[in-house]
């Protein structure tokens, strides 16, 4: 799996999650169906049957949303990788750093000028 593209891995993980989700939903549905069969009144039995049906509907919708989200993420990742692979890379050559000449003389002139202005201001 080290060589696999991540979009394939994303889809596989989503499939595993979806399978687990549906397995648990079927277990719960079967539990509610069993409770409906054991119910003493028709009203209670109908309520458990309704809960079993609602459980499957909700689980199916959740599994569909999970799969759709995983597909969107996998497609987005694959598209980004294709774009990155097709974009040319600019190679910047390293230029040697230029030695800057020392500017001690102009700096001294500026300091002297500031000192003179400060004396005049006093």
Q: Is the pTM of this model over 0.75?
A: no
The Cα 71–Cα 81 span in angstroms is: 15
- E strands of 8-108, at which residues? none
19 has a pLDDT exceeding 90: yes
C-alpha distances in angstroms, 83 versus 5, 69, 78, 115?
15, 21, 9, 61
118 has a pLDDT exceeding 80: no
Cβ atoms of 43 and 26 closer than 8 Å: no
105 has a pLDDT exceeding 60: no
The Cα 50–Cα 104 span in angstroms is: 90
Q: What angle in degrees, to the nearest 10, is found between the helix axes of 42-86 and 6-38?
A: 180
The Cα 16–Cα 41 span in angstroms is: 39
Averaged confidence pLDDT in the chain: 85
The Cα 113–Cα 122 span in angstroms is: 15
The confidence band for 1, taking pLDDT boundaries of 50, 70 and 90, is: very low
Predicted pLDDT of residue 49 = 96
């Amino acid at each position: 799996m080290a060589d696999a593209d991540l979009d394939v891995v994303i889809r596989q993980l989503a499939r595993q999650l979806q399978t687990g989700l549906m397995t648990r939903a079927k277990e719960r549905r079967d539990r509610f169906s069993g409770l409906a069969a054991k119910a003493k009144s028709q009203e209670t039995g109908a309520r458990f049957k309704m809960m079993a049906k609602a459980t499957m509907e909700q689980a199916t919708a959740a599994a569909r949303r999970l799969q759709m989200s995983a597909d969107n993420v996998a497609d987005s990742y694959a598209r980004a990788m294709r774009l990155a692979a097709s974009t040319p890379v600019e190679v910047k050559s390293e230029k040697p750093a230029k030695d800057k000449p020392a500017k001690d003389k102009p700096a001294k002139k500026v300091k002297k000028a500031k000192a003179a202005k400060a004396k005049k201001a006093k």
